[in-house]
Structure 1
Amino acid sequence: MHKYDRAIKTLDAKQMQLHKEGKNKTKIKLEEKHRLIYDTIAKECRKRGHMNLSDVKAVYAFKMTRGKYRPMLMKYPEEWNAKAIERQTKKAFEMCAQMNDSSDFRNGKKILNVLSCFLKQPGMKGIGTATASLILSVYDVRFPFLSDEALAVVIPSYGKDPYTPLNYANFVSQIQKKRAKLLGEKNIHDKDAISHSDIEKALWTVASVNLEK
């Protein structure tokens, strides 16, 4: 975890160099996007109980720059409906608040119920399991982001389609087991201890650092 910020800055510098060389059309500024969603947006959406359209667009932009860039998916945010975004994120966050730290994160059905607030919803085309998990992780650190890098370590045999709701439920369960092993059962309710999202960030950092070698 102590290398995460450095890994973000390293990736940012690499992308900026590609931009200068004309190999990347846009300036990534990943560090700025990271601060925006995990500091500003996280605090604001917890206070108001939902995300607005600009929040989710910022989360989506961060997802596209921290992970594998998929240009064909960049068209979707312009088609999103603001009222649908606010309504469905409010519904999801209310469900998150009712979940128990331990048992409910081993209950695949409850995780799937939260995901259902985002998937195949009118006015929210393009928001799949991975994007939904990132939105949830910004609001509630008990929901880790389903990043490619972490998924490859946690569930290496995830099948042809890695981004299924069932894979995410399994992913969360495995991350929770790792957290319990790291902290010990008596400390798993310590909200200031390492979180599920922290573990995902650490796995991403390892992958990022290894790519730089």
Structure 2
Amino acid sequence: MDHPLAASSLTVLRDERTPRSRFRPTLHDLATMLVYEATRALPTMPVTVTTPLATTAGVRPAAEAVVAPVLRAGLGMLPAALGLLPDAHTAFIGLARDETTHRPTVYLEAVPADLTGRPVLLLDPMLATGGSALHCLRLLLDRGARGITVVAVVAAPEGLAALESGLPVAAAAELTVVAAAVDERLNDTAYIVPGLGDAGDRIYGEM
């Protein structure tokens, strides 16, 4: 996403001196911009409304969207998504990172059984190895979702490559990733460089 306000918010999030009390509202601001961009192609249907002066044409979303935050860090982006999509259904996918293997361990999957025809946004501040995103995307695809949009604050090239190679060709072609930045690389412990650290810890505190 190329926008000066997004770049300014990202700078605040990257700064190690930014306290949680400022990190959370700044993430909300940036997530609002990212979700706004991510819904640019949201399907709509025509409606007619009456203004104080006349009748005119308008639009509304054609289907109820689904927003799926990846717990726990994705919860920091959820209020912004629901602020723009107040009628959206919320799905929850809980994943914990194994610090040895860097693979996700699943502890919660609360997702509607049928996502056919519904716009789906997957919310996760960090797209690092792509392992967590791939697990979530496969789950969503199995429930009938198509044309999913991943909304991230920062992404690593390795994670983007993993999504492209780890999904069926048709699903990968329909996938959209919206991020404030694509960073340089992953380090030896699979953290994004320069990144912004552990997003969950910076939102909620270290566990």
TM-score tier by shorter-chain length is 0.3 to 0.5
State TM-score, norm by structure 2. 0.33
Higher strand share: 2
